[in-house]
Amino acid sequence: MSEEEIRKMWNENPMFKPRIEKVVVNISVGKSGEPLEKASKILKDLTGQTPCKRKAKKTLRDFGIRRGEPMACIVTLRKQKAIEFLKKVFHVIDYKLPKSCFDEHGNFAFGIKEHIEIPGVKYDPEIGIFGMDVCVSLNRPGWRVKNRQRAKAKIGSNHALTPDETMVFVKDALGVEIV
């Protein structure tokens, strides 16, 4: 489908227009202790939410990683907080995303090498510099019916998001150029 056809479909039926379900921000440190606490502080300052720590799934002796040891911290943002965070973060990547960032379900992800590039963040020598992954999940209104606990129902395949529709939505709603 072309961009014009996609926009026309959204205008005719608003239930087809995608929306941002959630934004997950992940800082993977690789070890527990002080570095993980610093990364957690950075995420809390950037997002205004308390990060959740994630544990290692396997023991890797070569890297000194034990199973169950905290390795990373994540924050899930929804609704207006997610949009505000994305607008700040897209400034770092110059509002450009490659097509390879988009998956077949209409989600996309990208990375930031240094958190100090985000506007409003100053370098603190005590904390250091961390990179982060930003994963954005999109869906259509009504998609929740498929995954909810009570009264689940099947959703037709034409209600699933395609990468093309996601790219058009990101261009229109967030002003990001797809390269």
Could you read off the pLDDT of 129-159 as tens digits, one per residue? 888 999 999 999 888 888 889 999 998 888 8
pLDDT at 143: 85
**Is residue 35's pLDDT more than 90?**
no
pTM listed for this prediction: 0.86
How many alpha carbons fall within 13 Å on the CB side of residue 8? 5
* % of residues, the chain, pLDDT over 90: 27
The residue to which tokens 């590039």 are assigned: 117
Q: Which residue's entry shows tokens 């990060």?
A: 51
Q: What is the pLDDT of residue 76?
A: 95
pLDDT mean over 3-21: 89
Are residues 129 and 116 in contact, defined by beta-carbon separation less than 8 angstroms?
Answer: yes
What residues does 25 pair with on adjacent strands? Answer: 75, 134
Would you place residue 3 in the very low, low, confident or very high pLDDT band (cuts 50, 70, 90)? confident
Task: Calculate the average pLDDT of the chain.
Answer: 88
Q: Which CATH architecture group holds 3-178? A: 2-Layer Sandwich (3.30)
Task: For the chain, give every domain's residue range.
Answer: 3-178
36-87: per-residue pLDDT in tens?
899 899 889 888 899 999 888 888 888 778 888 888 999 999 999 999 999 8
**Order of strands, sheet of 19-28, starting from the edge strand that comes earlier in the sequence:** 52-55, 70-77, 19-28, 132-139, 108-112
Mean local confidence (pLDDT), 159-163: 86
Is the pLDDT confidence value at 22 over 90? yes
